């Protein structure tokens, strides 16, 4: 683990490299120049993909604020400026402001960490400052398979930089279970009225993924629940026979990015197949198409289903990427330290290996820029200092780092 003060000098080269990359970008031209995977598909409207880069792109430098960490999946800032992180293998740590990881937090339940599973997202309760409550998602081993589950607990820090979880309670389980190791999702986002949005995947394989269109199944959905895991009374399907009442929207593939905008509305980015990563603003009761309507193609190169990209019953993505960025982690930038990014979404790119900056004009994408970091980005957060913090990972495991992105 490296102390932040020892890394400032070492980050100078990184600053030069990132600034140079920014200078090499061309305003008015798309950041993506490669051929799409689905060469016969066309966007439904202008600006739905390959938006131009903005005229003003800040020079961004980065420094490592913590390294030598286990394979991280998510991070969240605590009110005192420290960071709470989840590691895929099933542990939590508190990272000090100096970049040091404390001891493993006791009381984390057992997780299924094979494949894409593990200890996933973490979110502080809206009243965390007084309650100490956190919520976290994880892939849970079950008698009839496995699935994404959400638990609540009280985080009790200790004087050694660690702590424990008390009153751990699994409040919600994505059902049905499935014996697979892919597409668990998931992100947790609290809305302005303390509602909790839970994003999940459709488990990837051909048989279960079709359940993304089934209201009786919890695969490929966004859920909206209260802090006890119950459906909200104004959810769109609470009175529909056979439907899971927790469902907010359907027809999703694998949702690993979610955040609120400045109006308190939920936005998500989900993984597409080969091509077809989607930015959406999930609305109650609406169908986002997967796997019947989608951009991109199968990994084999064949069409997904009938190769349809639009119909009257499903929503078009606000924006899509082909080739993919492989999105994970998402934040809305409403700070002042990087004014050019004000009102933009920041999306971590696993395949694109950097942060994708999506500038909005109302509910449409106006510009897209990219900050190359030469690392898979698993999570993105805006810190209390207005800087952007990015969690890196290595494919297949290995150590993670936390980077701090600043202007200049």
Q: Which residues are catalytic?
A: 183
Closest by CA to 382, choosing from 340, 335, 342, 348, is 335
Beta strands in 241-283 (DSSP E): 247-250, 254-260, 266-271, 277-280
The answer to whether the beta carbons of residues 393 and 376 sit under 8 Å apart is yes
What tokens does 154 get? 């009280």
**Other beta carbons within 10 Å of 311:** 11
Closest by CA to 218, choosing from 119, 112, 145, is 145
Q: What is the DSSP letter of 312?
A: T
Name the H helices within 110-242.
128-131, 206-209
Distance between start and end Cα atoms, the chain:
25
Q: What is the DSSP letter of 24?
A: H
**Other beta carbons within 10 Å of 341:** 28
The answer to whether the beta carbons of residues 69 and 399 sit under 8 Å apart is yes
Closest by CA to 83, choosing from 283, 401, 397, 383, is 383
Token pair 């603003």 in the structure block, residue: 281
Closest by CA to 175, choosing from 246, 109, 120, is 246
**Other beta carbons within 10 Å of 141:** 16
Render the burial of 312-321: b for 16+ CB within 10 Å, e for the rest: eebbbbbbbb
Spatial distance between the Cα atoms of 103 and 82, rounded to a whole number of angstroms: 14
Chain centroid to Cα 375, Å, comes to 16
What tokens does 58 get? 């800040």
């Amino acid at each position: 683990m490296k102390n932040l003060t020892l890394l400032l000098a070492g980050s100078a080269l990184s600053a030069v490299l990132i600034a140079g990359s920014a200078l090499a970008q061309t305003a008015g031209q798309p950041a993506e120049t490669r051929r799409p995977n689905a060469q016969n598909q066309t966007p439904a409207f202008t600006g739905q993909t390959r938006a131009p880069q903005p005229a003003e792109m800040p020079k961004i430098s980065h420094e490592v604020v913590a390294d030598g960490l286990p394979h991280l999946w998510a991070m969240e800032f605590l009110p005192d400026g420290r960071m709470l992180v989840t590691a895929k293998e099933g542990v939590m740590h508190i990272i000090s402001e100096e970049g040091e990881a404390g001891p493993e937090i006791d009381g984390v339940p057992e997780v299924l960490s094979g494949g894409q599973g593990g200890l996933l997202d973490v979110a502080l309760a809206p009243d965390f400052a007084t309650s100490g409550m956190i919520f976290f998602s994880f892939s849970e081993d079950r008698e009839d398979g496995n699935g994404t589950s959400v638990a609540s607990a009280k985080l009790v820090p200790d004087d050694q930089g660690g702590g424990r979880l008390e009153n751990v309670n699994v409040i919600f389980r994505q059902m049905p279970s499935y014996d697979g190791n892919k597409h668990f999702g998931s992100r947790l986002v609290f809305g302005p009225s303390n509602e909790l949005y839970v994003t999940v995947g459709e488990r990837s394989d051909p048989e279960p993924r079709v359940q993304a269109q089934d209201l009786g199944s919890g695969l490929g959905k966004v859920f909206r629940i209260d802090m006890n895991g119950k459906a909200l009374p104004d959810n769109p399907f609470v009175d529909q026979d056979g439907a899971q009442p927790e469902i907010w929207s359907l027809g999703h593939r694998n949702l690993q990015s979610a955040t609120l905008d400045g109006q308190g509305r939920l936005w998500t980015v989900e993984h597409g197949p080969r091509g077809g990563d989607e930015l959406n603003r999930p609305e109650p009761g609406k169908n986002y198409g997967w796997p019947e309507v989608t951009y991109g193609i199968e990994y084999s190169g064949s069409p997904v289903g009938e190769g349809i990209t639009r119909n009257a019953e499903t929503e078009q993505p606000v924006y899509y990427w082909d080739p993919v960025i492989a999105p994970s982690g998402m934040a809305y930038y409403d700070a002042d330290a990087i004014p050019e990014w004000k009102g933009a979404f920041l999306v971590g790119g696993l395949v694109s290996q950097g942060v994708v900056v999506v500038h909005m004009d109302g509910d449409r994408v106006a510009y897209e820029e990219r900050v190359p970091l030469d690392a898979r980005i698993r999570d993105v957060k805006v810190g209390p200092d207005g800087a952007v913090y990015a969690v890196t990972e290595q494919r297949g495991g290995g150590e993670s780092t936390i980077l701090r992105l600043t202007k200049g």
